[in-house]
Structure 1
Amino acid sequence: MLDSTRCIRARALGAAALLAITATTAHAQDAQATDAPQASGNLGSDIIVTAQRRPERLQDVPVAVTAFSEEMIRNLNLNDAIKTAQMVPGMIATHNAGLGTANAYYLRGLGNSQSVATFDPPVGTYVDNVYVARQNANNYQFFDVDRVEVLRGPQGTLFGRNTTGGAVSVIMKKPSDRMGAKFEATYGSYDRVTAKTTVDLPVSERVLTKWSAYYVYDKGYLKNVTTGDRLNGERNYGFRGDVRFLPTDDLTIDLSGEYTRNTGTYLGVYAAPGASDRYKTTTTPDFYNTRNALPEGNCKGDPVNILLTTVTGNCSLTDSYATTADVNWNTDAGNLELIAGYREQEQGYINNYNGTTTNVYAAYILADKIRNHQVSTELKWTGEAFDDKLKYVAGVFYLREVNHLASADFQGSATATAFNLLQDRHFRQQVETVAGYLQGDYEVVPDLTVTVGARYTYEKKSIEYFDSERFPGFGFNSADVRAAGIPLKLTQNRVTPRFAINYKLSPSVMLYASATNGFKSGGWNGNAAVATRVLAFEPEVTWSYEGGVKSELFDRKVRINLNGYYARTKNLQITSGIVPPGETVIVSLARNAGTLVDYGLEFETVFAPVRNFEFFANGSLSHGEYSSVVILPGVSQALQISTDTRPVRTPTFQFTGGATYTIPVDALDGDIKLIGSYRHNSSYYIAVLNTAAAPREDFVDLKVSYEKTDGSFGASFGVTNLTKQETITANFLSLFPGDPRRFTGSVWFKF
């Protein structure tokens, strides 16, 4: 560990030296400039973000944020939220074990692989500024997206729900004032077919509408050698309608509604006998095969009834409904915005998590029925004062969500001939949170701005457990939990401040530093099989200290954004397997593990020496460790978190680079683009107790595309994971594989 830490510090000193050189060079270059740089030069148009809840140039925001424009999303094949997250410094994104619809995001060592509603995600997801409380189906499909912003570090002041790790914000396109349509279709490996369409139909100058739809089918890349099924595929579709009313030049009303259906699975591979040094496991994964004994079925209906009557499963079905209203009123004094959203999810799944046992009745099978719905409202005011020296954002936020879970798990002996019920549990959880926030940015002297902000949050959670109706004698109720001395209600009162300072060294170089506080609510060990294990855990609290530079140099041919951070998280929330005192079987326990310290450097660069060529390089150097831990009484040392345990999904070094070369072809009345990218992660643990690790990862993607000059037609052909990099992303009774190599061809039209 000492050598690793020294290596990190040496690299950090080198990067700090580069920062100093960059700032000095930029200052000398721009000393005579008087105006802020405009959207000129080879870097193209400015990227506008709302990371501080108001529109600003990316380079003017003193926050670590990675932004993806519509063009970047198309060029890099970032078709859903998980693929975008994989390009962000300091971030690891995977599917939850068993669920292809659910993403687990880890930013700067903070993440959550739990879908159960009693465990909140430390990296929040937002769609059109509306918080998505549950990550059961947060792998958002990009079928008409304007941009994606990923904010790194705690969001304790301005965003809807307090988070310790960061936020993924998806901004959809608004209706156009011109009639038009676009259509895109792709076909690729494993019979993957996608189709996306959007139609803009303005009713008048004051009423604009947009209608969108998508369809995805993937046969699946995991071969079940026991049943002959293809797993880890998906069949998804969705519809969305947007209406924009413009009653006056100062008033905009945006209404939207969407429905999506997702059926993605994500199951593990066969574990061959023999330890693996590459994966630090006691078995060796067999890519891409499984001996999962459960035949594939359909999860439409009650999952438990389907399993018991048809002996099928390995399926998932999620229906999501969402409506959003955004009312924006510009006045001479400032801007008033009302954001209201409703979201409902209904999900059922049946997963056999054991990829080795060929007796279907012996395997561990989980059958869940989940229903979540949420209502949120936010009223936000932005304005300026004192001759525009003060810019401020103030608002209030309210969220109410209700979550239902009916979950049954089964596992029998090696010779079992019928399903053996282990436990059946049913709970209802309700969450209410109210918050008020205020942040001001004051220009103390020319080019020097100080930021002070804070958020007050009050949150109340309650949970009820119910005896099993379908299996009398199983399950437990709220009285059993109370008898175990466990509270069924939790409340939080917390103020989370932010302090920052930024200085414009020149019109194209900004230095900044900040201290930000964030927290994630406490909760319960919701997956508990018995009442005594519904243990409550404390809120996770983070202080993050950060400093960096944002610069555009050499007549906007080079962009270099570099930042360093140090974060300390108390009461880190984890889920790990333990053997309770007096028992012999490992059970899953959500709890507080101790204090996590994580620090590192992150960089994002773009180099565009000529208009037809652009190169980008993003990456991070980081180090995470437990500075203190919580010891579980009566549990063996091998199942304890210790200060020698490495935090999960925190690679020491990450790098993503790529280039786009554009070749104008007059004979074709368009451009040919050659696009390549490379993504690297050093080895990192994927199991909390360090019993499995992803190897060094090196991914290569290539693509060639053609687009007409007027943008009316385009086509492309590409390959992802060209070198067939094999990796694992999770370990729960099976090892879960990363994506294989894929070839994809696509065409698109605009009218």
Structure 2
Amino acid sequence: MIARFLLLASVASASFITPAAHAQDTTPQPVDPAAETQNPRGDVIVVTARRRQETAQQVPLAISVVRGDSIEATGNFNIVKLQQIAPTLQVYTTNPRNTSVNIRGLGVPFGLTSDGFEQGVGIYVDDVYNSRVAAATFDFLDVAQVEVLRGPQGTLYGKNTTAGAINITTNQPTFDFEGRAELTVGNLNLKQAKAAVSGPLSDTVAVRIAMASTSRRGTLYNVTSQRWINEQDNLGLRGQLLFKPSEDFSITLSGDYSRQNPECCGTTFVRVGRTQRPLNRQYDALAAAQNYVVPSRNPYDRLTDLDSNLNAGNKIGGVSAKIKWDVGPGTLTSVTAWRFWDWKPENDRDFTGLSIVSRSQNPSQQDQYSQEFRYNYESQHVDFVVGLFGFKQRVDTQGTEQQGSAAAQWSLAPSTDPANPANNPATLAGLTASNTQWLKADSAALFGQLSWKVTDALTIQPGLRLNYDKKSGFYQRVVTNAQGQAISCTTVAEPGTIKGTSQQCGVYQPQVSAPSDSAWNFTYDFNINYKIARDVLAYATYAKSFKTLGINQNGLPLNADNSVNYDASTVKPESVNHYEIGLKTQFLDRRATFNLTAFRTDIRNFQATVNGGQFGTVRGYLANAGKVRSQGIEADFKIVASDRFTAYANGAYTDAKYKKFVDAPCPPELSGGTFQAANATPDYSQPGVPGALSPRQCDISGADLPGVSKWAFSYGAEINQPVTLLAKEGQVYLGVDGNYRSHWNSNASPSIYTNVKGYALTNFRAGFRGEGFDVFGWVRNALDVDYIETLQVAPGNTGLIAGQPGDPQTWGGTIKFSF
């Protein structure tokens, strides 16, 4: 398998990443990042992936490095867009909370997000861990570079992550006065402004202040509200104060605040697929019975008719203090941080213009505290990093979901009998589920990694981690009828409630759970790397890693007898075995770089998000898949042919599958009918046959993991020519970049209805730059390709598939000044 991967990679070349091309010496030694990055198109890339400064080609792991100027030039202004130039990164979002950031198909369960599990891809900003993936949807703010580390990261980083880490480094305060400003305007009423200024307050104190603001008209037109939705409305601020009384000691105080307040995030009709529900209870029949016609059945008409309020109010911020102190032969680093996240959403969860679910929102508030201590030591023969990490988190959520006037006719079995409950809107209208929940998560870890330089060429790197996690939570759902009376779904009504009807209890059931668990984990990794020649480094890595236990925080599923399944309240930790080999090379006088990586990751008890298809019994919950495997090949190529021309090509082949998942939720084509007998062998022979019996669960062993394209490529090139224009000396340049992703599936249990076709996007830019300025025009998705970013299965097993089309062709211009 690996041999075939290597052969494919040699034909395809791939995985971007501004690697080093002109370094004069690749032996490990302290690197001055300021000196190395004066030329934004220079080729010595300084990284801190191993918690020390070194060139990317020295690091014996798969790492993608994207510089700030590359991010800006290609229009990738947040992590969601960054996947266009980092092929092994997959980011999918239906709103800031429901955002999946994965590497090699692994990281976070695809689908509805739960607060009760850990992220498999850690997001760090200036060494501070961000526990919520909502941070991924904000604009990059004064970013120097982004490092995407692939594979488990636990012996060098504060928070253990099983799939990788995204290490974001911002520009730091300087003792030389400098500043920059950037203004972008474009179609869809795009307006984006960025500015930063830095300089000394005294001989020992420097300050840096940065801001970014983005607004853009939405890409879907809502005929109900007569407004464009899925707009962008972002504001970010960051301030940093550096106190450096000597070369051996510094303190950096940082504070940041970002907010989003768009009318977002809505969907449009994409398609209808047949389920096993009776035909008169599937989408087309239900819509006809209510004289409902969707504005368009072509998603690329970009029309929707959602009737519920939409909002994606999102605030993230915090403060941190980073202390660096040269103590003895090494450096002691302390990073203390507090961060908050406030989330105020409003959604249309039925994905239609009918009042089925009239209200759906789960606002939440998070506080997190983290403390990390690291000691870095470097010598001629031995380097090591040892660290302590502590983390404390609290998340409070207040959820509301309410049934509307069309719910009864849509959700209940229809009948010509006027007395049938389905014909009476009052049967379900006003039925409300109010959820109160909180989560407390505590984590502590001791970690370290040793680097023993056995010879000038051979280095051995073992690493260890001891981790303790404790999670406790509380979830309560109170169900009230239209009159505000609390209902019970037990045989005898509980005190203070009335007995709910069978129709009401079939939609919402009161529920209380208080899951709690803790776990110790001991993990390790071992890397051996050998410098075959001055510019050729080979390495091999084995990592035994884990993702800690999870608890279900969005409610629990029901048993066959309609009772709550409390056994599902906790989720086992993932157990990870990771293998990787790689080759890093430079040639043509270090003007060309080619890096190659092959990997295999096996995970037992993979934490997956599942959803039974009901409206309100449970939105989605975590469960363990028996075994998952992700394996593949990645290759990086870049060439600096001359000062006039540079090019890169990136790509990856990823084969990510459920190796064993025998009790998964069934896809929509095998759902919606009367359940097969509890002791019967599941019958999968009648997908999409109305009225057929539905399996209680499905064996999806061998199926692809959701959200993963087997093939992903990106490329870019730029050519320039020195000219004098308007008495200014500079360069006229033309750049192109693009990416391709093969098809992938957008449902936790792959469905024939949620297959997303592959697509290729192409972008162009052209401009004039000189000392301290850059003016250019750009076109993104220049060929106006129609593509889908994500698909969602509407609840109720009616067969409705909704989705979010990707951005159409956009164009505009950017002016940048620096001094």
Shorter-normalised TM range:
0.7 to 0.9
In structure 2, what is the equivalent of residue 227 of structure 1? 225
CA-based RMSD = 3.3
1:602 equivalent to 2:601? Answer no
Q: Distance in 2 between matches of 1:348 and 1:475?
A: 29
In structure 2, what is the equivalent of residue 302 of structure 1? none
Cα offset for 1:599?
0.8
Native 8 Å contact 1:143 1:197 kept in 2: no
Cα offset for 1:676?
0.4
Q: What does the per-residue CA deviation read over 1:618-652, in whole Å, with 9 as the maximum and x for residues that have no partner?
A: 10112122222242677844852421422112212
Q: 1:577 aligns with which of 565, 589, 611?
A: 611
Higher mean C-alpha deviation, range 68-77 or range 524-533: 524-533
Q: Distance in 1 between matches of 2:122 and 2:235?
A: 24
Counterpart residue type for residue 132 of structure 2 = R
Q: Distance in 1 between matches of 2:339 and 2:488?
A: 29
CA 55–33 in structure 1, closer or farther in 2 if over 3 Å, else same: closer
1:657 equivalent to 2:721? Answer no
Q: 1:738 aligns with which of 806, 809, 813?
A: 806
Residue correspondence of structure 1 range 483-522 to structure 2 within 5 A: 488-522=515-549
In structure 2, what is the equivalent of residue 694 of structure 1? 756
Does the residue aligned with 2:761 lie in a helix, a strand or coil?
strand
Please identify the structure whose Cα radius of gyration is greater. Answer: 2
Q: Distance in 1 between matches of 2:452 and 2:512?
A: 50
In structure 1, what is the equivalent of residue 346 of structure 2? 350
In structure 1, what is the equivalent of residue 657 of structure 2? 625
Native 8 Å contact 1:714 1:747 kept in 2: yes
1:391 equivalent to 2:383? Answer yes
Long gaps (5+) in structure 2: 14-21, 276-281, 285-296, 411-422, 496-509, 558-563, 665-677, 683-693, 795-801
CA 621–517 in structure 1, closer or farther in 2 if over 3 Å, else same: same
CA 513–171 in structure 1, closer or farther in 2 if over 3 Å, else same: same
Counterpart residue type for residue 699 of structure 1 = L
Q: 1:80 aligns with which of 62, 72, 78?
A: 78
CA 232–18 in structure 1, closer or farther in 2 if over 3 Å, else same: closer
Q: Distance in 2 between matches of 1:732 and 1:128?
A: 38
In structure 2, what is the equivalent of residue 704 of structure 1? 766
Cα offset for 1:319?
1.8
In structure 2, what is the equivalent of residue 12 of structure 1? 6
Residue correspondence of structure 1 range 501-650 to structure 2 within 5 A: 501-528=528-555, 532=565, 535-578=569-612, 588-631=620-663, 636-637=694-695, 640-650=698-708
What fraction of aligned residue pairs are identical, expressed as a percent?
Answer: 25
Counterpart residue type for residue 500 of structure 1 = N
Q: 1:336 aligns with which of 332, 337, 340?
A: 332
Long gaps (5+) in structure 1: 1-5, 20-29, 295-311
Native 8 Å contact 1:124 1:161 kept in 2: yes
CA 33–202 in structure 1, closer or farther in 2 if over 3 Å, else same: closer
Q: Distance in 1 between matches of 2:219 and 2:50?
A: 41
Cα offset for 1:473?
2.5
Higher mean C-alpha deviation, range 318-327 or range 392-401: 318-327
Does the residue aligned with 1:352 lie in a helix, a strand or coil?
coil
Q: Distance in 1 between matches of 2:817 and 2:641?
A: 31
Q: 1:714 aligns with which of 769, 774, 778?
A: 774
Native 8 Å contact 2:471 2:516 kept in 1: yes
Cα offset for 1:225?
2.3
Does the residue aligned with 2:71 lie in a helix, a strand or coil?
helix
Does the residue aligned with 2:69 lie in a helix, a strand or coil?
helix
| TM-score (norm. length: structure 2) | 0.80
Q: Distance in 2 between matches of 1:500 and 1:402?
A: 36
In structure 1, what is the equivalent of residue 104 of structure 2? 108
Does the residue aligned with 1:12 lie in a helix, a strand or coil?
helix
Does the residue aligned with 2:363 lie in a helix, a strand or coil?
strand
In structure 2, what is the equivalent of residue 428 of structure 1? 438
Native 8 Å contact 2:153 2:161 kept in 1: yes
In structure 2, what is the equivalent of residue 307 of structure 1? none
Does the residue aligned with 2:347 lie in a helix, a strand or coil?
strand
Counterpart residue type for residue 331 of structure 1 = V
Q: Distance in 2 between matches of 1:322 and 1:541?
A: 32
In structure 2, what is the equivalent of residue 409 of structure 1? 401
CA 9–727 in structure 1, closer or farther in 2 if over 3 Å, else same: farther
Cα offset for 1:546?
0.3
Q: 2:136 aligns with which of 119, 138, 143?
A: 138
CA 240–596 in structure 1, closer or farther in 2 if over 3 Å, else same: same
In structure 2, what is the equivalent of residue 320 of structure 1? 316
More strand by share: 1
CA 431–463 in structure 1, closer or farther in 2 if over 3 Å, else same: same
Cα offset for 1:116?
2.8
CA 637–615 in structure 1, closer or farther in 2 if over 3 Å, else same: farther
Q: 2:370 aligns with which of 358, 369, 376?
A: 376
CA 274–488 in structure 1, closer or farther in 2 if over 3 Å, else same: closer
CA 136–75 in structure 1, closer or farther in 2 if over 3 Å, else same: closer
Native 8 Å contact 2:347 2:361 kept in 1: yes
CA 419–47 in structure 1, closer or farther in 2 if over 3 Å, else same: farther
CA 639–537 in structure 1, closer or farther in 2 if over 3 Å, else same: same
Counterpart residue type for residue 142 of structure 1 = F
Q: Distance in 2 between matches of 1:205 and 1:42?
A: 27
Q: Distance in 2 between matches of 1:576 and 1:81?
A: 25
Q: What does the per-residue CA deviation read over 1:499-529, in whole Å, with 9 as the maximum and x for residues that have no partner?
A: 0000011111100000112222222222226
Q: Distance in 1 between matches of 2:730 and 2:274?
A: 54
Q: Distance in 2 between matches of 1:171 and 1:688?
A: 33
Native 8 Å contact 1:102 1:137 kept in 2: no
CA 33–150 in structure 1, closer or farther in 2 if over 3 Å, else same: closer
Q: 2:299 aligns with which of 279, 286, 299?
A: 286
Cα offset for 1:472?
5.9
Counterpart residue type for residue 768 of structure 2 = Y
In structure 2, what is the equivalent of residue 457 of structure 1? 467
Does the residue aligned with 1:138 lie in a helix, a strand or coil?
helix
In structure 1, what is the equivalent of residue 799 of structure 2? none
Q: How many residues align?
A: 699
Residue correspondence of structure 1 range 146-185 to structure 2 within 5 A: 146-185=144-183
Counterpart residue type for residue 406 of structure 1 = Q
Q: Distance in 1 between matches of 2:217 and 2:463?
A: 49
Native 8 Å contact 2:471 2:551 kept in 1: no
Does the residue aligned with 2:212 lie in a helix, a strand or coil?
strand
Q: Distance in 2 between matches of 1:475 and 1:160?
A: 45
CA 42–343 in structure 1, closer or farther in 2 if over 3 Å, else same: closer
Counterpart residue type for residue 343 of structure 2 = Q
Q: Distance in 2 between matches of 1:737 and 1:367?
A: 23
Does the residue aligned with 1:391 lie in a helix, a strand or coil?
strand
Q: Distance in 1 between matches of 2:512 and 2:347?
A: 33
In structure 1, what is the equivalent of residue 817 of structure 2? 749
Cα offset for 1:165?
1.3
Q: Distance in 2 between matches of 1:592 and 1:689?
A: 13
Cα offset for 1:163?
1.5
In structure 2, what is the equivalent of residue 303 of structure 1? none
Q: Distance in 2 between matches of 1:64 and 1:219?
A: 38
CA 436–34 in structure 1, closer or farther in 2 if over 3 Å, else same: closer
CA 163–449 in structure 1, closer or farther in 2 if over 3 Å, else same: same
| TM-score (norm. length: structure 1) | 0.87
Counterpart residue type for residue 155 of structure 1 = Q
Counterpart residue type for residue 707 of structure 2 = R
